[in-house]
A and B are shown apart, each in its own frame.
Chain A
Amino acid sequence: MKDWFIQASYLTASVLFILSLRGLSSPDTARRGMNLGAIGMLIAVVGTLLQHEIVRFEWILAGLVLGSAIGAPMAIFMPMTAMPQRIAISHAFGALAATLVGIDKYYRHGAELGSATMAAVGFEVMFGSLTITGSFMAFAKLQELVRGAPITYPLQNASNLALFASTFGILLYLIFDPGNAHLFYAMACFGLAIGVLMVLPIGGADMPVVVSLLNSYAGLASAATGFALSNNVLLIAGALDGASGFLLSILMSRAMNRSFRNVLFGAFGGGAEAAVAGKTASGLAVRSTTVEDAAIQLAYARLVIVVPGYGMAVAQAQHQVRELAEQVEVRGGEVKYAIHPVAGRMPGHMNVLLAEANIPYDKLLDMDEINPQFANADVALVIGANDVVNPAARNDKSSPIYGMPILNADYAKQVIVLKRSMNPGFAGIENELFYNPKTALLFGDAKASLTKLVAEMKNA
């Protein structure tokens, strides 16, 4: 009877999890969906506590209280601008839980484990441990505790591949000889090392792919826990998480014109190599503009398309963007936002920031939707974006970003680019857009420039 109840609770939880993700297909249903997911989680936990193995509750209670005491304040006080870091570090927590459960299983049973269970525990600990350190490295890079630029050294890919192959070799060996505890713990340590080494060569602009990939790995570690413990709700939730991360990684790598194989095998160093290639812009001149001129252009525009990029996030200028949009709208103009899939440091980064600034989500348009509209735009206002508006992706076969889908900002009648300096973007590629005769550059910190623009437009 009790077992029946436990299984029923897991089934209910699984259904609720699927429904909660289904809710995310529209902003109107998303919050209700998430509540269903939370109820599902509660049901699964209550079901689990009924298991006859569980005899003492003091440590469970302590863990639940401590976890809530850390998790809740993090959720309440974390500024939206820190969201990429927060997402990255949370993968580390999920993977840590899965890894420890796997180590516990091995510690207790070791040599007695059947080959199928050993394979599951092995995968769990391998994926889990590399996700822990990988996510932590991603967190450190996003939080700028570690230099954000790619860190490369000779034979990096070869040595990483060799390390990964030997770790996988140990895993295969353990399936046939589960009793070898030294090898098991060595595998866990190798996993931790792989996580660090995997993320080292990755630069900031590639973070959306990495964060999605780690999301997928964390899910796979949970699913492997499900196999190891013969627990269906773990299997299902892990599979959902794994599928989600996998799909996001595909979408992100497609938006950067990288093959998925290129992503899977960690050849992320592309950015560093790209820095040497690409066109140089000697002999071309940029046209810089003043706040006054830009304000006049914006004041008379009927359609302004804002192209936000990581620079807007760094300057935390999303609220000033809204104020500027209000000024344009007061004058009868329309403002839309063009969101490139890999703008920022995680999938959907720009959407969250602009939503935080109270910009209605129906004005945030995806690349496919907004691209045909640039031709009608009087002004394309590029705020801290670079590679995602570089026309070289369209017409320069020698460019490292050739083939990457971009926002057609250069089709607008006028382009204003807010930019800190003439330093090229992350990939180190010159951007033809800046040399286009239609383009005017407004140098300075995005937030300061926008504040001045707003003041100027109010007076005009």
Chain B
Amino acid sequence: MEALRNKAKELLAAGAVKVVIGYGQGTGDSRRPVFVHSADKVTDLVFDKACTQNLATYLTKSEVRAMGRMAIVAVPSTLRSILQLAAEKQLREENVVALAMIDGVMKDLSTFDAIEETVATVPDAISEADQKVIDKLMAMSSSERRAFWADELGRCVKCYACRSSCPMCYCERCTMDCNRPQWIPVASHAIGNLEYHVVRAMHLAGRCVQCGTCGAACPVGIPVHLLTFFAEGTVRRQFGQKGGASAKLDYAMSTFKPDDKEQFIR
């Protein structure tokens, strides 16, 4: 943590970055996102096992970007988000420095290549709890799974915490916002909830970096992250492309290659 604070201090004092996005002390034992602008406030930054939230969503928040060059305290999923955002032309290399925290060690990474190298060394980690639910779901029949999700999504109130916390949901005008036509019903009834979550999962296919922040953000505990994990996994299996692996990408869902499998054409 000291190394992190010192680096943040150095960058801010030199004016190399205008803001450090990191974790701070939250209510009780929790952690919250903090924005440090001056070198004397780096003590607001903390880092420990409780810092798991992916803060990359702030890299595309206009008020934060407007401050200038950003440094971000990065857990592995944040690094993957940076790469995916870069691949989608949402981030320029010169505008962000990642203060990566891997196994308690801080590494400052200021190029996408360096971030790619680091990401390649970190194994994918789906939590035990999540894996249990995934296994349970994969063992279900289609109708059982449908019933599971109908039950879970019944709690959804369409607050969009999932969308707002996701670094890859940066569209200024989301499909949900379109009212001509109103593609997805606004209301939080069965169809309105289902269609929203299905569309969101589809829009994250191949792009989700599996940070789980959307599921953690859901105030009513719906494991929405499993939907996007699955969509990412499907693209990975079908097209060999992984979300957040590289800053250079021909996105599978918008690129045609002559040797693409076409099993749907019979």
Asked if A pairs with B, the answer is no
Chain A residues within CB distance 8 Å of chain B:
none
